Amino acid sequence: MNILIVSQYFWPETFRINDLAIGLVERGHKVTVLTGIPNYPNGKFFSGYGIGKKYEDIYCGIKIKRVPLFPRRESKGWQLAINYLSFMIFASLLAPIFCRDQYDLIFVAQFSPVTVGIPAIILKKIRKIPILFWIQDLWPESLSATGAVKSKSVLRMVEKVVKFIYGHCDHILVQSRGFISNVVSMGVLSSEVSYFPNWAEELYRPMKLEINASEYTQLPQGFKVMFAGNIGAAQDFENILGAVERLKVYPDIQVVVLGDGRMREWVEEQVKVRGLTQQVHLLGQYPVEKMPRFFALADVMLVTLKSQPIFALTIPSKVQSYLACGKPMIAALEGEGDKVIRESGAGMVCPPENSTALAETILAMYQKTAAERAKMGEQGRRYFETHFEREMLLNKLEGCMKGCMKNLQ
């Protein structure tokens, strides 16, 4: 198949769509990606990229076509709105010019925003190409849950846009079963929606580091509770810091944060204000290749989300990465994510937005033996291989793609 992927984010930005595209190329498909100028998560164009620079790339056999956009900058609401709209506008105008091949399918990776579907719909109308739309983030629900948009009239307008986009797609994939009812409520037939979860790249696996590995010197001594990923409003760092405050009497418990995001400056300030500099360590963002090495040195991994109906429907993608590496985890969340961790036996779950409960859960994990924690990690790895293994899911994706193409004929 000759596949066009439309995604606002792509390499060198770190998103799972990178590995999906590589997997399709490995299976003999021809892949082109229409994307923007890389600037996530710091809000600045990556070195070597910018307006008027490097609009074409080749990555692992994938052709990349980039369109201009305004960077996220400090990720304030109005800045994100301009960032999203600029990609939609430039991609819609330039897609017919940049993407002239005869594609068999358009695959849309919808993280945020949902408007990434508009350029794909324009191409569909011009070239008669079917669209397979992969939902990672439900709109307008996520806008409301994170506080990004509070106006009910704006949310209603976004809902109309979502209905329009879903209605012009040939098939829709959702990363969580919890999304299905929301998508159907937007007027999509249940037969046109399929569950297609995230996986973890093959580099995520259990490993033991060499004795002289540099990662040893980058991490604190003690019992390491590690959080990896976006430092944003949804991840509820207020809850994490509140839990650490309650654990001050256990100085051996250390929280390590790998990642970046719009809330990082606030977290850094709060760590100082609350006197947590000896227990909370923000190490910044590292290449994805380094993540399994850091994970190997953690005693337990941490995943948190705020208590919102939309977040109860999702499975944070870091869960698959933690499971793949065979690491035990502590989860302060509910719904689909809670279900996965309980079913797998990979860790301990507590209610979200409850720093006392999170502190108690961290302490309970701290008091377990290393063997008990290792058993949790092993159970998680087995669950991952059964439910989230890469090649199995790529097989499923190919089947969905072929069915999508057949339905348009």
DSSP for 151-188, written as a single string: -HHHHHHHHHHHHHHHHT-SEEEESSGGGHHHHHHTT-
| 204 part of a folded domain | no
Q: Are residues 113 and 173 in the same domain?
A: yes
Q: Are residues 306 and 158 in the same domain?
A: no
In angstroms, the CA 121 to CA 92 distance is 9
| 41 part of a folded domain | yes
| 111 part of a folded domain | yes
In the structure encoding, which two tokens stand for residue 180, read together? 């299905």
User: Across the beta sheet with 105-110, what order do the strands follow?
Assistant: 56-59, 62-67, 30-36, 2-6, 105-110, 131-135, 171-174, 193-195
Query: Domain of 220?
Result: 215-387
Instruction: Provide, rounded to the nearest whole percent, the portion of the chain with pLDDT above 90.
Output: 87
Q: Are residues 223 and 172 in the same domain?
A: no
The predicted pLDDT at position 310 comes to 86
In angstroms, the CA 123 to CA 342 distance is 43
Q: Are residues 155 and 238 in the same domain?
A: no
The predicted pLDDT at position 53 comes to 87
The predicted pLDDT at position 143 comes to 84
The predicted pLDDT at position 146 comes to 74
Regions of the chain with pLDDT less than 50: none
| 209 part of a folded domain | no
In 353-408, which ranges are continuous DSSP H helix?
Answer: 355-367, 370-387, 390-408
Tokens 């990178």, located at residue: 18
Rg of the chain over Cα atoms, rounded to whole angstroms, equals 21
Q: Are residues 193 and 234 in the same domain?
A: no
The predicted pLDDT at position 148 comes to 74
Q: Which of 116, 135, 327 minimizes the C-alpha distance to 227?
A: 327
Residues 6+ apart with CB under 8 A from 288: 14, 201, 203
Strand partners, 49: none
The predicted pLDDT at position 409 comes to 56
The CATH number assigned to the domain holding 90 equals 3.40.50.2000
Q: Are residues 292 and 193 in the same domain?
A: no
pLDDT (tens digit per residue) in 315-327: 999 999 999 999 9
Q: Are residues 324 and 302 in the same domain?
A: yes
In 211-316, which ranges are continuous DSSP H helix?
Answer: 215-218, 237-246, 264-273, 291-296, 309-312
Q: Are residues 255 and 168 in the same domain?
A: no
pLDDT (tens digit per residue) in 42-90: 899 999 999 888 899 999 999 999 999 999 998 788 899 999 999 999 9
| 91 part of a folded domain | yes
Q: Are residues 179 and 235 in the same domain?
A: no
In angstroms, the CA 116 to CA 92 distance is 9
Number of domains in the chain: 2
- Full-model pTM: 0.85
